[in-house]
Structure 1
Amino acid sequence: MKKIYKHACAILLLGLLMITSNALAQDDDFETPVYTKIRLGFHSHNNFYRQILIGFEEDNATEGIDPGFDAVNVFNLPNDFYFLCDNTELFIQGVGYYNTNNVYPLGVRSNSVGTITINIDATENWDPTQEVYIYDAVMNTFSNIKNGPFTANVGIGTFNDRFSLRFSTQSTLGVGNTPIVSNISVNYVTTDKTLSILNNSTSTATTVTLYNLSGQSVNTWNVSKMNQTSISLPVSNLSAGVYLVNVDTSNGAVTKKILLK
């Protein structure tokens, strides 16, 4: 009788093991979702280091602020680097589906004039043929950081409108993008030492900002209520040298390098 009992228990145990094995085999068929991530590394003028991450979470996140996917910068450090979304500083930004045309604003804070660098620290599930650019709105340049670190000179202050992460030099859609506007000319008039902005576009020029080559803003004018066809701005108080003029309009922006004499 004991042998029969032991035999029955063995059969029952074997049956349970087979059921557990089948369940585990079914669990093995489950595939963990794979998402694309990019980690950017930043070094400030004094070699302060910051790494930030953007993750393309597909249906799980949006281009806005998503609790659980976005990590907010709670520090106020004199030198720092972050994504900027809805005026919120983020160390980690979770977004939706990858789109070549999307633009992601980057913020830099600096407590001294000097050189910064931005590079790719690491990627996950990233197409190796896809380019990655840092756009510099002051210099109006695209730098492919797959080929090496991006470097720029910055001044003292917070720069939230200068740099952005892009995946195409032809970006026309996306978050924080500022398309180029045509039919606006910017010139320096030496006779009366003024900036002359001729607006023959359908856009309204709203703000004109003058930068030096260190990226520092040296003057800003609100021009939204001025005669749009001929805007004249005095610059006689500025030192001679090369400057960059950024004209923000209702439909985008224009950047022009000028020489003040």
Structure 2
Amino acid sequence: IEGATNGLDRGFDGSLFGGNHVTIYSINDSQKLAIQGRALPFDNSDVVNLGIKTTIAGAFTISLDMLDGLFVNQDIYLKDNLQNAIHNLKSGPYSFTTGIGTFENRFQIVYRNEALGIPEFNPESIVIYKKDKDVVVTSGTATIEGVKVFDIQGRLLFDGQKINASEKVIKSLPPTDQVLIVQVVTTEGIRISRKILY
């Protein structure tokens, strides 16, 4: 917008107040913003950092609601630093999974599609959550070799091997109302254990 800078501007930027179960916001100078005005002329090397806070784990999508002005013809990319992916939001929504928490280094809005290089495995890319009566395990760019589920006493409740996929839905667990330990092994031999309430 004319008159704005890429810094914090009274009248152009709006602070984030409150939030919902899932809140997405931009970040500028460590400030969480619901509205962020950017300077003209537009620079396609601009980067807008996004934060997301969620009190629920699961699968989500990010999409554009509407476009106007120069963005009618300008591509808008969502950069997922955790998954090492760039997605053109004008071509459709971006789907991702996440655990509960606040994540301020995962997403950025960029306006050029530049190669990210070979992804390095990040243990945070493995997300485990309960969906209805199922347990869902997603691994991002890694491939899941096996999944084991133990109760709090160490008894084996599920043992899935040779999965060779980036997602596994476990449907055969009896309801327990307790903490379970889910152990995931990737095809590269990396072993991650997480606790979930089931």
Identify whether the pair has TM-score above 0.5, normalized to the shorter chain. Answer: yes
Question: Which residue does the alignment assign to 1:166?
Answer: 110
Q: C-alpha separation between the residues in 2 aligned to 1:83 and 1:146?
A: 19
CA offsets, 1:19-48, max 9 Å, x none? xxxxxxxxxxxxxxxxxxxxxxxxxxxxxx
Q: Residue 127 of structure 1: CA displacement?
A: 4.5
| C-alpha contact (below 8 Å) 2:51/2:103 kept by paired residues | yes
Aligned match of 1:142 in 73, 80, 86? 86
Q: Residue 160 of structure 1: CA displacement?
A: 0.6
What RMSD over aligned residues (CA atoms) do the two structures have, in Å? 3.0
Q: C-alpha separation between the residues in 2 aligned to 1:84 and 1:210?
A: 24
Amino acid across the alignment from 2:23: D
3-state secondary structure, aligned to 1:146? helix
Q: Residue 145 of structure 1: CA displacement?
A: 0.9
3-state secondary structure, aligned to 2:61? strand
Question: Which residue does the alignment assign to 1:260?
Answer: 190
3-state secondary structure, aligned to 2:104? strand
Greater share of helix: 1
Q: C-alpha separation between the residues in 1 aligned to 2:79 and 2:54?
A: 18
Q: Residue 155 of structure 1: CA displacement?
A: 0.5
Check 1:124–1:186 CA distance in 2 against 1; reply closer, same or farther (3 A cut): closer
| C-alpha contact (below 8 Å) 2:8/2:29 kept by paired residues | yes
- Which stretch of structure 1 is more off in the superposition, 73-82 or 155-164? 73-82
| C-alpha contact (below 8 Å) 2:25/2:34 kept by paired residues | yes
Within-5 A mapping of 1:148-187: 148-170=92-114
Structure 2: runs of 5 or more not aligned:
130-181, 192-198
Q: C-alpha separation between the residues in 1 aligned to 2:117 and 2:111?
A: 20
* Residue 117 (str. 1) matches residue 61 (str. 2): yes
Question: Which residue does the alignment assign to 2:127?
Answer: 214
Structure 1: which 4+ aligned runs deviate by more than 3 Å? none
Amino acid across the alignment from 1:130: Q
Aligned match of 1:84 in 17, 27, 33? 27
**Bigger radius of gyration:** 1
Question: Which residue does the alignment assign to 2:11?
Answer: 68
- How many aligned residue pairs are there? 138
CA offsets, 1:195-231, max 9 Å, x none? xxxxxxxxxxxxxx63133399xxxxxxxxxxxxxxx
| C-alpha contact (below 8 Å) 2:21/2:56 kept by paired residues | no
| C-alpha contact (below 8 Å) 1:64/1:86 kept by paired residues | yes
Q: Residue 259 of structure 1: CA displacement?
A: 4.6
| C-alpha contact (below 8 Å) 2:81/2:107 kept by paired residues | yes
Check 1:68–1:259 CA distance in 2 against 1; reply closer, same or farther (3 A cut): farther
Percent identical pairs in the alignment equals: 26
Check 1:129–1:109 CA distance in 2 against 1; reply closer, same or farther (3 A cut): same
Q: C-alpha separation between the residues in 2 aligned to 1:215 and 1:65?
A: 37
Provide TM-score, normalisation by structure 2.
Answer: 0.60
Q: Residue 82 of structure 1: CA displacement?
A: 0.7
Q: C-alpha separation between the residues in 2 aligned to 1:154 and 1:72?
A: 24
| C-alpha contact (below 8 Å) 1:102/1:167 kept by paired residues | yes
Structure 1: runs of 5 or more not aligned:
1-56, 172-179, 188-208, 217-237, 244-257
Within-5 A mapping of 1:21-36: none
Provide TM-score, normalisation by structure 1.
Answer: 0.47
